[in-house]
Amino acid sequence: MGTSSKVSKLHFLLFLFMAHGHMIPTLDMAKLFATKGAKSTILTTPLNSKLFFEKPIKSFNQENPGLEDISIEILNFPCTELGLPEGCENSDFIFSSPDLAKGDLSQKFLLAMKYFEEPLEKVLETTKPDCLVGNMFFPWATKVAEKFGVPRLVFHGTGCFSICASHCIRLHKPYENVASSSELFVIPDLPGDIVITEEQVIEKEEESVMGKFMKGIRESERESFGVLVNSFYELEPAYSDFLKSFVAKRGWLIGPLSLGNRKFEEKAGRGKKASIDEHECLKWLDSKKCDSVVYLSFGTMSRFNNEQLTEIAAGLEMSGHDFVWVVNKNGSQGEKEEWLPEGFEEKTKGKGLIIRGWAPQVLILDHQALGGFVTHCGWNSLLEGVAAGLPMVTWPVGAEQFYNEKLVTQVLKTGVSVGVKKLMQVVGDFIRREKVERAVKEMMVGEERRKCAKELAKMAKNAVKEGGSSDIELNRLMEELKLVKLQKGKEK
Cα–Cα dist 200/203, whole Å: 10
Considering only 129, 255, 378, 446, the residue that binds ligand UDP (CB under 6 A) is 378
CB-based contacts of 219-222 (< 8 A; 24+ apart in sequence): 219/139, 220/139, 220/140, 220/141, 220/142, 220/143, 220/154, 221/136, 221/139, 221/142, 221/154, 221/248, 221/249, 222/248, 222/249
Cα–Cα dist 120/15, whole Å: 9
Cα–Cα dist 157/169, whole Å: 20
Task: Specify the stretch interacting with ligand UDP by CB under 6 A; choose among 110-118, 148-156, 355-363, 451-459.
Answer: 355-363
Tell me the pairing of strands 184-186 and 195-197.
antiparallel
Cα–Cα dist 281/294, whole Å: 14
Q: Residue 427 or residue 472: which is nearer to ligand UDP going by CB?
A: 427
Decide if 488 contacts 149 (C-beta within 8 A): yes
Binding footprint of ligand UDP, residue count (CB under 6 A): 20
Decide if 164 contacts 188 (C-beta within 8 A): no
Contact pattern from residue 267 through residue 286 relative to ligand UDP, giving x for each residue in contact according to CB under 6 A and a dash for the rest? ---xx---------------
Residues 57-116 close enough to bind ligand UDP by CB under 6 A: none
Considering only 26, 231, 381, 414, the residue that binds ligand UDP (CB under 6 A) is 381
Smallest gap from Cβ 105 to ligand UDP, in A, equals 16
Element (H, E) at 278: helix 278-286
74-to-27, 46, 117, 420 alpha-carbon distances in Å? 15, 6, 14, 41
Smallest gap from Cβ 34 to ligand UDP, in A, equals 19
Q: Is 224 helix (H, G, I), strand (E, B) or coil?
A: coil
Smallest gap from Cβ 489 to ligand UDP, in A, equals 38
Angle value at C-alpha 276, between 275 and 281, nearest 5 degrees = 150
Task: Specify the stretch interacting with ligand UDP by CB under 6 A; choose among 144-152, 197-205, 223-231, 359-367.
Answer: 359-367
Task: Specify the stretch interacting with ligand UDP by CB under 6 A; choose among 20-28, 41-49, 141-149, 453-461.
Answer: 20-28
Smallest gap from Cβ 362 to ligand UDP, in A, equals 6
Q: Residue 225 or residue 402: which is nearer to ligand UDP going by CB?
A: 402
Q: Is 162 in the site for ligand UDP (CB under 6 A)?
A: no
Smallest gap from Cβ 490 to ligand UDP, in A, equals 41
Residue of 224, 229, 248 whose CA lies nearest to 141: 224
Considering only 11, 20, 244, 482, the residue that binds ligand UDP (CB under 6 A) is 20
Q: Residue 123 or residue 362: which is nearer to ligand UDP going by CB?
A: 362
Considering only 311, 322, 384, 471, the residue that binds ligand UDP (CB under 6 A) is 384
- Listed in order, strand segments (DSSP E) in 274-332 are 293-297, 322-327
Number of other CB atoms surrounding residue 309 within 10 Å: 21
Angle value at C-alpha 93, between 113 and 429, nearest 5 degrees = 100
Q: Is 48 in the site for ligand UDP (CB under 6 A)?
A: no
Q: Is 380 in the site for ligand UDP (CB under 6 A)?
A: yes
Smallest gap from Cβ 268 to ligand UDP, in A, equals 9
Q: Residue 268 or residue 369: which is nearer to ligand UDP going by CB?
A: 268
CA count, 13 A, side-chain hemisphere, 9: 13
Q: How far apart are the first and last CA of the chain?
A: 25
Task: Specify the stretch interacting with ligand UDP by CB under 6 A; choose among 53-61, 145-153, 181-189, 373-381.
Answer: 373-381
Considering only 49, 166, 319, 361, the residue that binds ligand UDP (CB under 6 A) is 361
Contact pattern from residue 292 through residue 331 relative to ligand UDP, giving x for each residue in contact according to CB under 6 A and a dash for the rest? -----x-xxx------------------------x-----
Q: Which residues bind ligand UDP (CB under 6 A)?
A: 19-21, 24, 270-271, 297, 299-301, 326, 358-359, 361-362, 378-381, 384
